Chains A and B, each alone.
Chain A
Amino acid sequence: MAHNGHQRGGDDDDAIDGDDETPTKQPRSDDELPASCRRSEPDGEAAAAGGRAPSDGRTSNSTARRRSDSVKKTRPPFPWFGMDIGGTLVKLVYFEPKDITAEEEQEEVENLKSIRRYLTSNTAYGTTGIRDVHLELQDLTLCGRTGTLHFIRFPTHDLPAFLQMGRSKHFSSLHTTLCATGGGAYKFESDFRTMADLQLHKLDELDCLIRGVLYIDSVVSRGPSECYYFENPTDPDRCVQRPYTLENPYPLLLVNIGSGVSILAVYSENNYKRVTGTSLGGGTFLGLCCLLTGCSTFEEALEMASQGESTRVDKLVRDIYGGDYERFGLPGWAVASSFGNMMSKEKRESVSKADLARATLVTITNNIGSITRMCALNENIERVVFVGNFLRVNTLSMKLLAYAMDYWSKGQLKALFLQHEGYFGAVGALLELLHPS
């Protein structure tokens, strides 16, 4: 759960329903895609060698196909969706089969075809739906079928338009089970039934999250690593992103930063606990930014933050002590009071909106960092994986978290990040459809 891409201005009816709109054509050439997305070669061997894939890897070789035939009977009918309805964003993953035989093509009902074409031929839906093309996973084998996994998001408040579209595309005629997680699966269950005649299969969001993380990490074993970290986080000049192999991942602390924050200690795929959470999350950052700066989107808020200076807003230790507070080992640059300078009228008048946005980002991020660090100490876990859409295109926060983990733990803690940030819950929901646990 986190932030919407484009703020919608008008009424809800035209949001996602592509029938009235000219879909944005998608660049299809591999050259136009980031290198990370070129996954044209089958690599089933590699995935199998990984050894800890709980389900299929990306493979198209014959062994796998033979094995997959046996699961064909239990295989659910297309389309395959996984959905995570958060407080701010709906995350949708869609598996597009690429190995459709001519026979299948003929059998395929028109409604299914129309949905597939609509989703795969566009990168934007309505004014607020976005397909994250750079994240898509090609040549992925799921339940014996090979295809592409697509990652789509839209704001939760546009869910009615999504349901409207489902209705107009006669989604319910396909008799598919729609696996959904996140709070919205509960909140909007009756809307799905009444507006789109769809029955939701509701799933726990934290179960899905962990399943999704472990799965995606296991299938993305070639090309740019799913998991990465920042080298030299305390030195801005030498701080670089590096791939990280999440081999033998347990125990790990999983911090999911959506609208709010959940912190989980994961000991194995099925053994985890929610350590704590905080309501100061991505929703708080965006909400406060909207109030303080008048901005309206996450991207806008981040853009402002990148241009601002938080030290004009925050009161630092050196603002009070003139330098370090040596007695208690606090460096002069440490924040003594977030927004503390804003108590003074003059300073209030001298800060820009960008400064306020930056201070908000730093405050929220540092707070998550503090709580995470305490949890890691209490649980005695050294590896922390940060996920959630708050981190989407938010290198500032990632570097800050990497810095905070490293600095305050004197190098004991490592902050890790994942490419598919906010989509793990939805992936977990899809997996539940294919492999009911």
Chain B
Amino acid sequence: MAECGRADSSSTTHTMDKSITLPPDEIFRNLENAKRFAIDIGGSLTKLAYYSTVQHKVAKVRSFEQNAEVSLYEISEQEEVTARLHFIKFENAYIETCLDFIRDHLVNTGTKVIKATGGGAHKFKELIERKLGLKVDKEDEMTCLIRGCNFVLRNIPHEAFVYAKHADSEFRFQTTHPDIFPYLLVNIGSGVSIVKVTTKRRIFRTTRFDELLQLASKGQHASVDMLVRDIYGGSYGSLGLTGDLIASSFGKSATADKGFSKEDMAKSLLHMISNDIGQLACLYAKLHNLSRVYFGGFFIRGHPVTMHTITYSINFFTKGEVQALFLRHEGYLGAIGAFLKGAEEDNPNQYSWGENYAGSSGLMSVSPEMNPMQRARSGTFDMLEMDRLERQLVNLPLLQDPSSYIPDTMDLTEDALAREYWLSCFEEALDGVVKRAVASQPDIPEAIERSEKFRQKYRHKLQTLRQQPFAYGSLTVRSLLDTREHCLNEFNFPDPYSKIKQRENDMALRYYQKAVKSLEQLSWEQRQFALVRGVLAGNVFDWGAKARPWLVDSYDQWLQRLKGPPHKCALFFVDNSGVDIILGVMPFVRELLSRGTEVVLASNSGPALNDVTNGELQILTERIAAMDPVIQAGLRDDRLTLVQSGSSSPCLDLSRLDKVLAMVVRERQTDLVIIEGMGRALHTNYYARLSCESLKTAVIKNSWLAERLGGKLFSVVFKYEVPPGKPSQEDSSAPSTPS
């Protein structure tokens, strides 16, 4: 139900906070193009949502019309406009200042209304209408929450987490089940609403706070509550009730002659309320046979102490059968829902959206009790930005079990040693990245200034992650890489590697024909090995002759398989530009085509490091086709297809791939997936289980990781897997795995 604030009179203590300490243009970004506003005003926090467009540079490649010898293709950076959702959360004390700021910066909006929800929407209606000149259009709170919840569950991979107070990592993020329904949403505001969300909505029941929780976290409820041991002297064995369970909340306060501390009473009250809500939620979950229960509302809102008591209570009442789930963006659900309601004509649900790590503050970054220092520094503003992705993203149809698929090999939130290593590693690499960024725009003088801003931003993100590894979901090498890409884009360095890629592609193309010729001179068996070596060695110049057996080596099984019938269709996730794609991957593809296997080459939609992009690969393939009749025939007969992955990351999330890719994969009855390179086959997908044969290959170019996996720098991983139950050419379906 509605959140209700403390009395008006007490909020005067906050007037001193009314000036915004941060430069507001860093908070209310892109206001000049903002359209469609929504606001959710709770008891203490206001959440503002708006839709805006962002203009930023994107790197494009274009083939020269003539066969110019100057360079392979033309690189240009163009301005592009993309859609972005902005969500800002701030304390109600700032509301007037914020409204003033918005009014002064709104330029192009054609909007006449602002969607509003939350208990405070009524109270501030007049103020909003007067300040913004927009008509306040109220939306039902529960409906907004449900809408918002569906949206974040659909679009943010690590949205939901389980809270474990005493574990190494307090937050355990969950893979969102591809089908998010049905679930139970328990919203704990001033009352409690428990809603079962199927695709339709249905409700069952409905029934100042920070300071109270501060008190509670210091209190001892056992002096106020009557415990089982107070009645039994110990546990109640026959019922399995342990002595420290609460038998009667506040049971001691009737008889004890001494007074209780406020802390103890607050703790007791917290336990009582949490247990009660947990119990009711469990009863509803059981009645409706639901296993996913999400908790939200201002009772939860980032408070470890309430998340812990709720988790404990759910665990107790369901004997572990139901897990209490919390949401990273729980505070935004109402605003998101209200916004979506107002934006229906833009069809926001038709698109896929991605969290922009550069523009979003992470979980708990402004939570008072988690990190008081942080709060003082960043003001009390919390932001979430979602980019509208050009393409709709879906699961790879070949995942064995989409609901248990986890892209990342290592969860750095749980592995403190690995976290420390990688955070330092990324910090140390930062200078190089900055240098490279500047070098990519030699003719633009202000590039240096931007590169410094990038450095600051990314360093700050790394520092935040050091303190709160869970800020953006599970911390992984992938999220560190993606955050860096987002930050580079933020400061208009769309493709720092473009020139290097161009040069290397140009160089490699010159050797293509020679390479193909020498491969053709080899015997069949020698050739197969040379092709594998080519893919492995593609981007490692000092590879040398690595003696087998490799660190992970199922080459023999692969070779055996090749002696059998050809695959119907292979999906190949490619990695780097230059030697890798041209002299490693292309000859391999050529061999597959010659065997009668169709090939789908999947490359990044947007640039990331020196990975080959779809745009670049189109040009390269055409150039190769001009030299190589096999490739040419493949293209002509539509047996070689290029698709984009939908990603702009050096890693690969098989649960968020371009819809077209998924369609092609299905149509062509793909029965082999090849994943190449460290980012895609080691940092991610190393343990991914596919429903068809798969080949994961990489050279470990990082000595720390190599050591972790039990090898040395430049150790080779060649992992050929056949899913259990699928007939393979021979019975070696158990590939070796590094421990």
Which residues of A come within 8 Å of B, CB atoms? 1, 3, 86-88, 155, 157, 182-184, 186-189, 204, 206, 258-260, 274, 276, 278-284, 286-291, 296, 315, 317, 320, 325, 327-330, 334-338, 340, 343-346, 367, 370-371, 374-375, 377-378
Q: How far is the CA of A334 from the CA of B193 in the complex (A)?
A: 13
Q: Which of B2, B207, B254 has the most CB of A within 10 A?
A: B254
Q: How far is the CA of A325 from the CA of B252 in the complex (A)?
A: 38
Instruction: Tell whether, in the assembled complex, residue B190 and residue A187 are in contact, meaning their CB atoms are under 8 Å apart.
Output: no
Instruction: Tell whether, in the assembled complex, residue A286 and residue B254 are in contact, meaning their CB atoms are under 8 Å apart.
Output: yes
Q: How far is the CA of A327 from the CA of B191 in the complex (A)?
A: 17
Instruction: Determine, out of B61-69, B278-286, B692-700, the stretch whose residues face the partner at the interface.
Output: B278-286
Instruction: Tell whether, in the assembled complex, residue B280 and residue A370 are in contact, meaning their CB atoms are under 8 Å apart.
Output: yes
Instruction: Tell whether, in the assembled complex, residue B247 and residue A279 are in contact, meaning their CB atoms are under 8 Å apart.
Output: yes
Q: How far is the CB of A158 from chain B (nearest CB, A)?
A: 11
Instruction: Tell whether, in the assembled complex, residue B205 and residue A370 are in contact, meaning their CB atoms are under 8 Å apart.
Output: yes
Instruction: Tell whether, in the assembled complex, residue B233 and residue A183 are in contact, meaning their CB atoms are under 8 Å apart.
Output: yes
Mark contacts of B237-259 with chain A using CB atoms, 8 A cut-off: 1 yes-contact digit, 0 otherwise.
Answer: 01100000111111111110000
Chain A's closest residue to B245 (CB) is A279
Q: How far is the CA of A258 from the CA of B231 in the complex (A)?
A: 12
Instruction: Tell whether, in the assembled complex, residue A343 and residue B272 are in contact, meaning their CB atoms are under 8 Å apart.
Output: no
Let me know if B225 is at the binding interface, CB within 8 A.
yes
Mark contacts of B502-514 with chain A using CB atoms, 8 A cut-off: 1 yes-contact digit, 0 otherwise.
Answer: 0000000000000
Instruction: Tell whether, in the assembled complex, residue B4 and residue A340 are in contact, meaning their CB atoms are under 8 Å apart.
Output: yes
Let me know if B462 is at the binding interface, CB within 8 A.
no
Let me know if B140 is at the binding interface, CB within 8 A.
yes
Q: How far is the CA of A343 from the CA of B6 in the complex (A)?
A: 6
Instruction: Tell whether, in the assembled complex, residue B233 and residue A186 are in contact, meaning their CB atoms are under 8 Å apart.
Output: yes
Interface residues of B in 184-212 (CB under 8 A from A): 189-191, 203, 205-208
Instruction: Tell whether, in the assembled complex, residue B7 and residue A343 are in contact, meaning their CB atoms are under 8 Å apart.
Output: yes
Chain B's closest residue to A344 (CB) is B7
- Which residues from chain A contact B205 at a C-beta distance below 8 Å? 370
Ordered by A's residue number, 7 sampled pairs between the chains whose C-beta atoms are within 8 Å are A260-B226, A296-B254, A320-B2, A327-B142, A335-B191, A337-B189, A345-B9
Let me know if B119 is at the binding interface, CB within 8 A.
yes
Instruction: Tell whether, in the assembled complex, residue B233 and residue A337 are in contact, meaning their CB atoms are under 8 Å apart.
Output: no
Instruction: Tell whether, in the assembled complex, residue B250 and residue A288 are in contact, meaning their CB atoms are under 8 Å apart.
Output: yes
Q: How far is the CA of A374 from the CA of B143 in the complex (A)?
A: 24
Instruction: Tell whether, in the assembled complex, residue B276 and residue A278 are in contact, meaning their CB atoms are under 8 Å apart.
Output: yes
Q: How far is the CB of B524 from chain A (nearest CB, A)?
A: 67
Q: How far is the CA of A84 from the CA of B258 in the complex (A)?
A: 27
- Which residues from chain A contact B265 at a C-beta distance below 8 Å? 291
Q: How far is the CB of B139 from chain A (nearest CB, A)?
A: 11
Mark contacts of B563-586 with chain A using CB atoms, 8 A cut-off: 1 yes-contact digit, 0 otherwise.
Answer: 000000000000000000000000
Instruction: Tell whether, in the assembled complex, residue B206 and residue A336 are in contact, meaning their CB atoms are under 8 Å apart.
Output: yes
Chain B's closest residue to A346 (CB) is B7
Instruction: Tell whether, in the assembled complex, residue B283 and residue A187 are in contact, meaning their CB atoms are under 8 Å apart.
Output: no
Instruction: Tell whether, in the assembled complex, residue A260 and residue B251 are in contact, meaning their CB atoms are under 8 Å apart.
Output: yes
Let me know if B275 is at the binding interface, CB within 8 A.
yes
Q: How far is the CA of A123 from the CA of B231 in the complex (A)?
A: 27
Q: How far is the CB of A261 from chain B (nearest CB, A)?
A: 9
Instruction: Tell whether, in the assembled complex, residue A280 and residue B272 are in contact, meaning their CB atoms are under 8 Å apart.
Output: yes
Known: A315-B4, A320-B1, A367-B276. A340 touches B142 (CB 8 A): no
Q: How far is the CA of A46 from the CA of B232 in the complex (A)?
A: 40
- Which residues from chain B contact A317 at a C-beta distance below 8 Å? 1, 206
- Which residues from chain B contact A88 at a C-beta distance below 8 Å? 248, 251, 254-255
Instruction: Tell whether, in the assembled complex, residue A325 and residue B206 are in contact, meaning their CB atoms are under 8 Å apart.
Output: yes
Q: How far is the CB of B436 from chain A (nearest CB, A)?
A: 55
Instruction: Tell whether, in the assembled complex, residue B143 and residue A327 are in contact, meaning their CB atoms are under 8 Å apart.
Output: yes
Q: How far is the CA of A3 from the CA of B287 in the complex (A)?
A: 34
Instruction: Tell whether, in the assembled complex, residue B191 and residue A183 are in contact, meaning their CB atoms are under 8 Å apart.
Output: no
Q: How far is the CB of B362 from chain A (nearest CB, A)?
A: 30
Instruction: Tell whether, in the assembled complex, residue B275 and residue A274 are in contact, meaning their CB atoms are under 8 Å apart.
Output: no
Instruction: Tell whether, in the assembled complex, residue A287 and residue B252 are in contact, meaning their CB atoms are under 8 Å apart.
Output: yes
Instruction: Tell whether, in the assembled complex, residue B238 and residue A204 are in contact, meaning their CB atoms are under 8 Å apart.
Output: yes
Q: How far is the CB of A53 from chain B (nearest CB, A)?
A: 27
Instruction: Tell whether, in the assembled complex, residue A336 and residue B191 are in contact, meaning their CB atoms are under 8 Å apart.
Output: yes
Mark contacts of B331-357 with chain A using CB atoms, 8 A cut-off: 1 yes-contact digit, 0 otherwise.
Answer: 000000000000000000000000000
Chain A's closest residue to B192 (CB) is A337
Q: Which 6 pairs between the two chains have the least Cβ-Cβ distance?
A: A183-B231, A187-B233, A283-B248, A287-B250, A283-B251, A374-B283
Residue in contact with B206 in the complex, picked from A157, A187, A281, A334, CB distance below 8 Å: A334
Q: Interface size class for chain B?
A: 35 or more
Instruction: Tell whether, in the assembled complex, residue A375 and residue B4 are in contact, meaning their CB atoms are under 8 Å apart.
Output: no
Q: How far is the CB of B157 from chain A (nearest CB, A)?
A: 31
- Which residues from chain B contact A182 at a C-beta distance below 8 Å? 231
Let me know if B10 is at the binding interface, CB within 8 A.
yes
Let me know if B234 is at the binding interface, CB within 8 A.
yes
Q: How far is the CA of A193 from the CA of B621 in the complex (A)?
A: 93
In addition to A279-B275, A338-B191, A378-B286, 17 A-B residue pairs with Cβ atoms within 8 Å of each other are: A183-B231, A183-B233, A183-B236, A274-B239, A279-B247, A279-B272, A287-B224, A287-B253, A315-B191, A327-B142, A327-B143, A336-B1, A343-B5, A343-B190, A346-B7, A374-B280, A375-B283
Instruction: Tell whether, in the assembled complex, residue A87 and residue B251 are in contact, meaning their CB atoms are under 8 Å apart.
Output: yes
Q: How far is the CB of A340 from chain B (nearest CB, A)?
A: 5
Let me know if B32 is at the binding interface, CB within 8 A.
no
Chain A's closest residue to B251 (CB) is A283
- Which residues from chain A contact B207 at a C-beta distance below 8 Å? 335-338, 370
- Which residues from chain B contact A206 at a C-beta distance below 8 Å? 239
Instruction: Tell whether, in the assembled complex, residue B7 and residue A345 are in contact, meaning their CB atoms are under 8 Å apart.
Output: yes
Residue in contact with B119 in the complex, picked from A157, A296, A320, CB distance below 8 Å: A320
Known: A204-B238, A279-B246, A287-B249. A183 touches B190 (CB 8 A): no
Q: How far is the CA of A343 from the CA of B299 in the complex (A)?
A: 14
Residue in contact with B248 in the complex, picked from A87, A186, A189, A375, CB distance below 8 Å: A87
Q: How far is the CB of A112 from chain B (nearest CB, A)?
A: 30
- Which residues from chain A contact B426 at a C-beta distance below 8 Å? none
Let me know if B317 is at the binding interface, CB within 8 A.
yes
Q: How far is the CB of B327 from chain A (nearest CB, A)?
A: 21
- Which residues from chain B contact A259 at a C-beta distance below 8 Å? 226, 231, 247-248, 251
Residue in contact with A290 in the complex, picked from B142, B234, B253, CB distance below 8 Å: B253
Chain B's closest residue to A286 (CB) is B254
Instruction: Tell whether, in the assembled complex, residue A336 and residue B226 are in contact, meaning their CB atoms are under 8 Å apart.
Output: no
Interface residues of B in 1-37 (CB under 8 A from A): 1-2, 4-7, 9-10
Chain B's closest residue to A183 (CB) is B231
Q: How far is the CB of A199 from chain B (nearest CB, A)?
A: 16
Q: Which of A187, A289, A346 has the most CB of B within 10 A?
A: A187
Let me know if B230 is at the binding interface, CB within 8 A.
yes
Q: How far is the CB of B297 from chain A (nearest CB, A)?
A: 12
Q: How far is the CA of A325 from the CA of B191 in the complex (A)?
A: 14
Instruction: Tell whether, in the assembled complex, residue B234 and residue A283 are in contact, meaning their CB atoms are under 8 Å apart.
Output: no
- Which residues from chain B contact A340 at a C-beta distance below 8 Å? 4, 190-191
Q: How far is the CB of B245 from chain A (nearest CB, A)?
A: 8
- Which residues from chain A contact B255 at a C-beta distance below 8 Å? 88, 155, 157
Residue in contact with B142 in the complex, picked from A281, A291, A328, CB distance below 8 Å: A328
Let me know if B439 is at the binding interface, CB within 8 A.
no
Q: How far is the CB of B274 from chain A (nearest CB, A)?
A: 11
Q: How far is the CA of A327 from the CA of B279 in the complex (A)?
A: 25
Q: How far is the CA of A74 from the CA of B207 in the complex (A)?
A: 56
Instruction: Tell whether, in the assembled complex, residue B287 and residue A283 are in contact, meaning their CB atoms are under 8 Å apart.
Output: no
Q: How far is the CA of A218 from the CA of B241 in the complex (A)?
A: 31
Chain A's closest residue to B225 (CB) is A279
Let me know if B164 is at the binding interface, CB within 8 A.
no
- Which residues from chain A contact B249 at a C-beta distance below 8 Å? 260, 279-281, 283-284, 287
Known: A315-B190, A329-B203, A370-B207. A378 touches B7 (CB 8 A): no
Q: How far is the CB of A214 from chain B (nearest CB, A)?
A: 19
Known: A87-B230, A291-B265. A378 touches B253 (CB 8 A): no
Instruction: Tell whether, in the assembled complex, residue B239 and residue A186 are in contact, meaning their CB atoms are under 8 Å apart.
Output: no
- Which residues from chain B contact A281 at a C-beta distance below 8 Å? 248-249, 251
Q: How far is the CA of A330 from the CA of B207 in the complex (A)?
A: 10
- Which residues from chain A contact B234 at a C-beta distance below 8 Å? 186-187
Interface residues of B in 544-601 (CB under 8 A from A): none
- Which residues from chain B contact A375 at a C-beta distance below 8 Å? 283
Let me know if B447 is at the binding interface, CB within 8 A.
no
Q: How far is the CA of A145 from the CA of B279 in the complex (A)?
A: 47
